[in-house]
Amino acid sequence: MIRVIVADDHPIVRSGIVGLLDLDPGVEVVGQAGDGAEAVALAADLRPDVVLMDLRMPGVSGIEATSRLTVELPGVRVLMLTTYETDDDILGAIEAGASGYLLKAAPHEEIVAGIRAVAEGHTVLAPSIAATLVTRMRTERAERPQLTPRELEVLRLVAAGRSNPEIARELFIGEATVKTHLIHVFEKLGVSDRTRAVTLALELGLL
């Protein structure tokens, strides 16, 4: 039996979700919450397997509540169930520690299957959510500055603390060539010094 808390600020919607879950013999709704703060308090008291969490609620939002649950009750899994599917909402929920993100328009069977999967330690994403994340990742990757292999070699040596003459000797190129590569690196990264170039390259995952 999977013990579930349903958190949603709309009583009618919450009752509808509870009614659907009550039809499944493998799921037991042990509590209902009207906002994030109540969801966290109930979870601390009832220790459910899963909290079915709405995203936007008055006071403590679903994302904030999820973040608190992740820290305070790491054994409790959170499955977001919402009507919102913007990039920021999705990423905010996942970064907060949600184990899944489904839409309220999903079929009853999909929601129950998501609860079971999350309770077992898996991650669940609605198909449209997964597609949104993939698109965003591809876009970010395409927008990331593209350094040539040689520019990356030079930048790695800069990160290792090598001077231009040392880099030139190590790569068997002229010092003027090293400077040219660094100028190109600075232009591509939009920086003006070696330290910022290395820091930004690390932040972007280039090094």
Q: Structure pTM?
A: 0.64
**How confident is the model at residue 31, as a pLDDT?**
96
Mean pLDDT within 39-67: 94
Mean pLDDT of the chain: 89
- CA 26 from chain centre, in angstroms, equals 29
Element (H, E) at 158: helix 149-159
> Which single residue is written with the structure tokens 């936007």?
56
State pLDDT tens for residues 85-109.
676 778 788 889 999 889 888 888 9
- Residue 131 pLDDT exceeds 70: no
Per-position DSSP letters for 162-188, written without gaps between them? --HHHHHHHHT--HHHHHHHHHHHHHH
State pLDDT tens for residues 134-191.
666 665 565 678 899 999 999 999 999 999 999 999 999 999 999 999 999 999 888 8
Distance, in Å, from the CA atom of 197 to the CA atom of 110, rounded to the nearest integer, reads 46
In contact, 93 and 64? CB cutoff 8 Å = no
State pLDDT tens for residues 155-170.
999 999 999 999 999 9
